[in-house]
């Protein structure tokens, strides 16, 4: 019911697919049930509700699953956010064949909790020189450059105090599990968190970023805690759109019905992004190819200003 890797939830009837919407779950989540209220697959809103929405009928909808259960036994302890990100990129590039593979139309990411960190790692430069030159791994450049927007759902961009507590619990003899690298990376002010935020800042300028944050505490045993508070869930970028949801950390990504006010907020954001892409021409899979063909015919790769600069220097 909850496969790993990429799973296609919906393929539009129209031959003209305009956008791919990809869902990425968080720590302890799964590819399907993370998005289902009470784990009820009939409430899998990316599959059952979004395709019925105005302006989203031409979107293909996918979900990505990776092995991030905090109850996983010791042999999985070496996995980290970087490895999950590499798996995501590999699946996006090689997971499908033929005309419908990813990178041919704009991509919108919807990420819950740690899924947002996995996405950030996947779309940011991997070393200092790539940051300086504003380049990404050439192998995945077509994929990453196709990503136009991200909706973060309670992503702990600055970490969470709960992560340290969770790893202590996993280390105890009662649970019999080892600490997980990907849980350690979620602790406040961890080197991974700080480095990732610095790298993503360069990439975010080219994305439409919407950050939804929880406003209700989550039950953890006998106590109620805020897992990802507003100051951690919001990046404070200039063009970022922050938005509260009346939900706890687990429920920011699952809804009771299409009339749920939280669902309406997320749906409205998706519709707005899709419409912006459509009106800008980014949703036309042939537009970039047409531009490249014209530039090749004209034997120019730069803007007209570049040509004027060349003439002035003569």
Taking residues 282-294, what's their average pLDDT? 47
**With 80 as the cut, is the pLDDT of residue 241 above it?**
yes
* Burial of residue 104 (number of CB atoms within 10 Å: 0-12, 13-18, 19+): middle
Taking residues 236-256, what's their average pLDDT? 95
* Burial of residue 26 (number of CB atoms within 10 Å: 0-12, 13-18, 19+): buried
pTM: 0.82
> Helices 81-94 and 114-122, interaxial angle, to 10°?
60
- Structure confidence at residue 314 as a pLDDT band (50, 70, 90): very low
For residue 181, give every residue at least 6 positions away whose Cβ sits within 8 Å of its Cβ, in sequence order, or none: 77, 78, 79, 80
Contact between residue 35 and residue 46 where contact means Cβ atoms under 8 Å apart = yes
The pLDDT value recorded for residue 13 is: 81
Least confident residue range of 139-143, 148-152, 210-214, 286-290: 286-290
Least confident residue range of 106-120, 217-231, 236-250: 217-231
Give 107-150 pLDDT, tens digit per residue: 999 999 999 999 999 988 655 444 444 445 678 889 999 999 99
For residue 161, give every residue at least 6 positions away whose Cβ sits within 8 Å of its Cβ, in sequence order, or none: 187, 188
Token pair in block for residue 190: 């961890």
pLDDT greater at residue 115 or residue 169:
115
The pLDDT value recorded for residue 182 is: 65
Token pair in block for residue 293: 């063909």
**With 80 as the cut, is the pLDDT of residue 180 above it?**
no
Give 51-108 pLDDT, tens digit per residue: 999 899 999 999 999 987 765 554 454 578 888 999 999 999 987 655 678 999 999 9
Taking residues 2-26, what's their average pLDDT? 91
Taking residues 253-271, what's their average pLDDT? 98
Distances (CA, A) of 131 to 65, 135, 138, 195: 28, 6, 13, 12
The pLDDT value recorded for residue 287 is: 46
Contact between residue 166 and residue 160 where contact means Cβ atoms under 8 Å apart = no
**Ordered domains of the chain (ranges, CATH):** 5-283 (3.40.50.1820), 287-314 (no CATH)
Among candidates 17, 56, 13, which has minimal Cα distance to 263?
56
The pLDDT value recorded for residue 167 is: 55
The whole-angstrom separation of Cα 252 and Cα 83 is: 25
Listed in sequence order, the DSSP H helices in 49-174 are: 81-94, 114-122, 128-133, 141-146, 161-171
The pLDDT value recorded for residue 211 is: 98
Share of residues in the chain with pLDDT > 90 (%): 50
Q: How many Cα atoms within 13 Å fall on the side-chain side of residue 28?
A: 9
């Amino acid at each position: 019911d909850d496969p790993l890797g990429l799973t296609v939830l919906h393929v539009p009837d129209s031959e003209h697919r305009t956008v791919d919407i990809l869902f990425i779950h968080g720590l302890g989540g799964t590819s399907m049930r993370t998005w289902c209220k009470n784990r009820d697959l009939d409430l899998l809103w990316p599959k059952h509700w979004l395709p019925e929405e105005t302006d989203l009928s031409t979107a293909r909808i996918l979900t990505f699953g990776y092995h991030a259960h905090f109850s996983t036994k010791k042999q999985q302890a070496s996995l980290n956010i970087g490895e999950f990100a590499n798996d995501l990129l590999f699946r996006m590039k090689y997971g499908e064949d033929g005309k419908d593979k990813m990178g041919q139309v704009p991509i919108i990411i919807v990420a819950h909790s740690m899924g947002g960190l996995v996405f950030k790692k996947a779309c940011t430069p991997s070393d200092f020189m790539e940051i300086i030159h504003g380049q990404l791994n050439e192998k995945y450049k077509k994929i990453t450059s196709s990503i136009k927007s991200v909706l973060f759902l309670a992503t702990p961009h600055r970490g969470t105090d709960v992560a340290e507590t969770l790893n202590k619990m996993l280390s105890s003899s009662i649970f019999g599990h080892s600490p997980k690298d990907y849980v350690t990376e979620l602790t406040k002010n961890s080197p991974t968190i700080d480095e990732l935020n610095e790298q993503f800042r360069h990439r975010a300028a080219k994305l439409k970023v919407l950050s939804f944050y929880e406003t209700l505490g989550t039950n953890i045993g006998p106590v109620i805690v805020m897992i990802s508070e507003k100051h951690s869930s919001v990046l404070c970028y200039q063009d970022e759109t922050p938005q509260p949801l009346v939900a706890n950390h687990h429920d920011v990504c699952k809804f009771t019905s299409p009339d749920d006010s939280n669902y309406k907020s997320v749906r409205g954001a998706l519709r707005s992004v899709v419409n912006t892409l459509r009106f800008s021409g980014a949703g036309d899979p042939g537009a970039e190819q047409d531009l490249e063909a014209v530039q090749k015919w004209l034997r120019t790769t730069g803007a007209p200003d570049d040509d004027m600069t060349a003439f002035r220097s003569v």
